[in-house]
Amino acid sequence: MPRNRTAGADAANVGRGGARAGPEAGFSAVTAIVILVILAVLGAAIVTITGTRSASAALDVLGSKAYQSARAGIEWGAFRIRNPENTNAVPPGPYTTQYACPGPATSFSLGGELAGFTVTVQCTSTLQTEFGNLITIYQLVATSCNIPVGAAPGTCPNTTTAFNYVERQMTGSMQTCRQSADGPGC
């Protein structure tokens, strides 16, 4: 009796799960590898995007703190300009202490929620006469940063290229008026 070749091939493959050898035999393995590669690429992209978003959010917070630090520097400079008036007697005088800039450049570190930031405040003034009164115009520039240059408290700005360096600069102006050099306010 002649042997049936297909029946023999089926009998030979019984131990291998009944799979038949042919052109489709490696197709499922290749498909599985391709799917794994695609999933790995998607996973890497998600990790990268998540890391970038976290770093961006942290820099946003630092930027807000730098802005508030610069604003505090302007307010400090304005207070320092007006502070001599607080040490004088109640009007009408005597007015012996003149308004003045706190110095050409003053740096200080901040505390509380703004700890880690340094502010450098620069002040210039111009004296004008208007209707016989002495008008002094003050220009304040406050630069705040989280990586100052030099010894503590350091100065801002910095030329660093650190990825987490944040700097904000704010300007403000104000004026004071005296009827004379040591006279009462206008």
Q: Is the distance from CB of 105 to CB of 124 less than 8 angstroms?
A: no
Confidence (pLDDT) at 89: 42
Transcribe 66-99 into DSSP letters. Answer: HHHHHHHHHHHHHHHHHHHHHTSPSTT----S--
28 lies in some domain: no
Residues 6+ apart with CB under 8 A from 168: 63, 66, 67, 69, 70, 143, 144, 145
Look at residue 158 and tell me if it is in a domain. yes
Q: Consecutive 10-residue runs of the chain (186 residues): their mean pLDDT?
A: 52 51 70 89 83 77 94 92 59 61 86 92 91 90 92 85 90 86 71
Cα distances (angstroms) measured from residue 13 to each of 8, 19, 106: 9, 6, 88
Cβ pair 81, 99 in contact under 8 A: yes
In a domain, 16, yes or no: no
| Lookup result for tokens 């946003």 | 60
DSSP state of 19: P
Question: Alpha helices, DSSP H only, in the chain?
Answer: 5-12, 27-86
pTM tops 0.75, yes or no:
no
Q: Total structural domains in the chain?
A: 1
| Tokens, residue 50 | 């998540």
Residue 7 domain-assigned?
no
Task: Please say whether the beta carbons of 180 and 95 come within 8 A.
Answer: no
SS3 per-residue string spanning 150-169: CCCCCECCCCCCCCCCCEEE
CA angle centred on 149, ends 143 and 150, rounded to 5° = 130
Q: What is the pLDDT of residue 16?
A: 52
Distance of CA 130 to the CA centre of its chain: 43
End-to-end Cα, the chain, rounded Å: 129
Letter string b/e over residues 71-85, b meaning 16 or more CB atoms within 10 A of that residue's CB: bbbbebbbebbeeee
What range defines the domain where residue 115 resides? 37-178
Assigned domain for 185 exists: no
What the block records as the tokens of 157 is 């700005």
- Please indicate, yes or no, if residue 67 is contained in any of the structural domains: yes
Q: Is residue 11 included in any domain, yes or no?
A: no
pLDDT for the residue 44: 85
User: Would 186 be classed as within a structural domain?
Assistant: no
